[in-house]
Amino acid sequence: MTRVFKKMKTLMACSALATIALSPSVQAELASDLQDGVSALMTQSKWTGAQRQRSLTIMHLAMFDAANATQGVYAPYAYAGKIDNSASPQAAVTQAALSVMQELLPERQQDLEALAGSYFTATTDAASLEAGRRIGAAAAAAVLAVRAQDGADFSLDYTPGAAEAGVYQPTSDRAMVAPKIKDMTPFVLTSASHFRVPPPPSLDSAQYKQGLLEVVTRGGKDSPATAEEIEIAKLHAGSGSGAWNQLARNSSRACALPLLEETRMLALLNVALSDALIAGFNAKYSYALWRPQTAVEALGTTYSHPDLKAGMEWESRIPAPMHPEYPCQHCTSGSAALEVMTSVFGSAPFPIRFEGAANISKDYDSLQQFAEEESESRLIGGVHYRRSNAVGDMLGYQIGHHVAQTALQPLSGGSAPQQACDGFDSTMVLQ
């Protein structure tokens, strides 16, 4: 049942935030607003999820490097130029986003310039504006250069393995999801198999048979379920990366993060989401484990189960995503995102609302609660085994922890972290 929260103020420990003196003219929420605008253009251009995620990550890294180049607080991702304190951070961030997307989405040039224009006019000092735009362009060029040969391939060609027991087979005639992304160079991980997950349980193991029975019993279209369980399955059926970016934008606004911290948080989040996608899909397409739907269809032919009958009619509660089953990608992405966001906002609970698919929204007591429900939703939806959820959760935790502890770190001798989010406005995330 959806919870209703009263207006409240919650003290939050935004760990890893540097003490920075920012003028009031530096606009908070700028990176979030730019992400909103660019994401809408990507949707209109009908980009795939993997293409969107890579591009957002490049854009956010460029915005971070640009903001950081006006203050020099953190280690940059790619920018190696001089620090210029006279440059407008707002102009630098805006130009970085504009330059990246002009390269990656050239067909929307006019829309991108219109999106950026209002933010440029907010800087009235001509010299500061010009310096900011120069830094933003340089930061964008540096990040784009690093990613120019990253092996990104968004083609959808895929040849499934032989139709044998346990081998993944497409569950519909829809296009496969990102079969080539497994070979893309990660942003921070040393390789797609930096954290390698173990093989899935063998089909004749008690663990697999119990897992299949559980998902068939709980996750079928006609399986007994409460109204809340059905809502949970539908709510989380969309993009896991999109969900976490929504939560991050709302949390940043409610926390009123300074611009540099906002760009850093969104950069870390999207790096973690991209590397989770690469690592998760590398494991998925390597192990190529079949979905529960295919296992049920194989009963009596290539597979048998002591508690499930051959020829039984069964359909998952939500359509199975078009990629192999193991491990759970929503779980991998969600756990990675949670670890990064906890490193920024702290672990103290705070209320937050998620606007999901099918016009369904729900309020949560914490990001942890959202992540746990997101993982469970894949079992309720009938598309994942519990073991796959657990392995995805662990893989995501390892990725998120690694990103949070190694990327975009404070420079040695820099300012000590401070508790910078002491005015969290819960009404900003419950709107």
Residue 143 is assigned to a structural domain of this protein: yes
* Separation of alpha carbons 87 and 85, rounded Å: 5
In contact, 400 and 238? CB cutoff 8 Å:
no
Global pTM reads 0.91
Residue 7 is assigned to a structural domain of this protein: yes
Residue 86 sits at φ, ψ, to 5 deg, of -85, -15
Residue 311 sits at φ, ψ, to 5 deg, of 80, 5
How many domains, the chain? 2
In contact, 288 and 325? CB cutoff 8 Å:
no
CB atoms under 10 Å from CB of 407, counted, come to: 21
Residue 12: its pLDDT value, please? 33
In contact, 391 and 197? CB cutoff 8 Å:
yes
Write out the two tokens for 182.
Answer: 């497994």
**Does residue 78 share a domain with residue 211?**
no
Write out the two tokens for 323.
Answer: 């990629």
**Does residue 431 share a domain with residue 295?**
yes
**Does residue 54 share a domain with residue 15?**
no
What is the dihedral sign for C-alpha 64, 70, 73, 74?
Answer: positive
* Separation of alpha carbons 114 and 385, rounded Å: 46
**Does residue 36 share a domain with residue 6?**
no
* Separation of alpha carbons 372 and 10, rounded Å: 22
Residue where a domain stops, chosen among 89, 123, 152: 152
Residue 393 sits at φ, ψ, to 5 deg, of -60, -45
Residue where a domain stops, chosen among 135, 152, 169: 152
Q: Helix crossing, 259-287 with 89-104: angle to 10°?
A: 30
Residue 160 is assigned to a structural domain of this protein: no
Q: What is the CA radius of gyration of the chain?
A: 22
Residue 18: its pLDDT value, please? 30
Domain that holds residue 408: 1-19+201-431
Q: What angle do CA 333, 336, 339 make, to 5 degrees?
A: 145
In contact, 146 and 61? CB cutoff 8 Å:
no
Return the closest-CA partner of residue 95 out of 47, 128, 51, 48: 128
Residue 110 is assigned to a structural domain of this protein: yes
**Does residue 27 share a domain with residue 8?**
no
- Note the pLDDT tens digit of each residue in 146-167: 999 999 999 999 999 999 999 9
Cis peptide before 327 (omega within 30 of 0): yes
Residue segments in the chain with a per-residue pLDDT below the cut of 70: 1-28, 413-431
Q: Kind of pairing, strands 352-355 and 361-364?
A: antiparallel
**Does residue 85 share a domain with residue 44?**
yes
Q: For residue 253, give the CATH number of its domain.
A: 1.10.606.20
Residue 2: its pLDDT value, please? 35
**Does residue 274 share a domain with residue 359?**
yes
Residue 266 CA neighbour count, 13 Å, CB half: 40
**Does residue 7 share a domain with residue 83?**
no
**Does residue 96 share a domain with residue 221?**
no
DSSP class per residue in 51-105: HHHHHHHHHHHHHHHHHHTTT--B--SS--S---TTS-HHHHHHHHHHHHHHHH-
Residue 182 is assigned to a structural domain of this protein: no
Write out the two tokens for 334.
Answer: 């969600």
Residue 159 is assigned to a structural domain of this protein: no
**Does residue 226 share a domain with residue 275?**
yes
**Does residue 408 share a domain with residue 309?**
yes
* Separation of alpha carbons 239 and 33, rounded Å: 20
- Note the pLDDT tens digit of each residue in 57-90: 999 999 999 999 999 999 999 999 999 999 999 9
Residue where a domain stops, chosen among 152, 169, 189: 152
**Does residue 319 share a domain with residue 240?**
yes
Residue 193 is assigned to a structural domain of this protein: no
Return the closest-CA partner of residue 398 out of 186, 182, 184, 189: 189
Residue 421: its pLDDT value, please? 58
Residue 31 is assigned to a structural domain of this protein: yes
Residue 419: its pLDDT value, please? 35
